[in-house]
Structure 1
Amino acid sequence: MKIALGADHGGLELKEQVKAYLLEAGWEIADFGTYTKDSCDYPIYGQKVGEAVSFGDCDRGIAICGTGLGISMAVNKVPGIRGALCTNEFMAAMSREHNNANVLVLGGRVLGVDLAMRILKVWLETEFSGGRHQRRLDLISEIENKYMKA
Structure 2
Amino acid sequence: MRVHLGSDHAGLDLKDHLATWLVDHGYEPVDHGPFVYDALDDYPVFCLRAAQAVAAEQADGLDSLGVVIGGSGNGEQIAANKVVGVRSALVWSEETAVLAREHNDANVVSVGGRLHSLEDMTRFVEVFLQTAFSGEERHVRRIGQLAAYETDHELPPLPASALQGSADPGTAAGSDSPRA
Query: TM-score, normalised on structure 1?
Result: 0.94
> How far did 1:131 drift?
2.0
Match of 1:146 in 2: 152
TM-superposition CA deviations, 1:5-37 (whole Å, max 9, x none): 111101001111111110111111110110111
> In the alignment, which of 70, 77, 97 is matched to residue 72 of structure 1?
77
CA distance in 2 between counterparts of 1:52 and 1:65 reads 18
Count of residue pairs the alignment pairs up: 148
Kindly report which structure 2 residues correspond to 1:39-118, keeping only aligned pairs within 5 A, or say none: 39=39, 40-56=41-57, 59-118=64-123
Q: Secondary structure at the match of 2:54?
A: helix
Q: Does 1:135 align with 2:136?
A: no
Unaligned stretches of 5+ residues in structure 1: none
Distance 1:19 1:94 in 2: 24
The corresponding residue for 2:26 is: 26
Flag the structure with more relative contact order, 1 or 2, with Cα contacts below 8 A and sequence separation at least 6.
Answer: 1
SS in 2 for 1:127: coil
Q: What residue is the counterpart of 2:3 in the other structure?
A: 3
Deviation (angstroms), 1:83: 0.4
When the two chains are superposed, the root-mean-square deviation of aligned CA atoms in Å is 1.4
CA distance in 1 between partners of 2:141 and 2:31 (Å): 33
Structure 1 stretches of 4+ with a deviation exceeding 4 A read none
Q: Distance in 2 between matches of 1:76 and 1:48?
A: 12
Q: Considering only CA atoms, is the larger Rg found in Structure 1 or Structure 2?
A: 2
Helix, strand or coil: the match of 2:140?
A: helix
Instruction: Confirm or deny: 8 A CA contact 2:5 2:47 kept in the other structure.
Output: no
Unaligned runs of 5+ in 2: 155-180
User: Could you tell me whether the CA contact under 8 Å between 1:6 and 1:45 is conserved in 2?
Assistant: yes
Is the Cα–Cα contact under 8 Å of residues 63 and 103 in structure 1 kept in the other structure? yes
Contact 1:45–1:71 (8 Å) recurs in 2:
no
The question of whether the paired residues in 2 share the 8 Å contact of 1:34 and 1:45 is answered with yes
Q: Distance in 2 between matches of 1:138 and 1:18?
A: 31
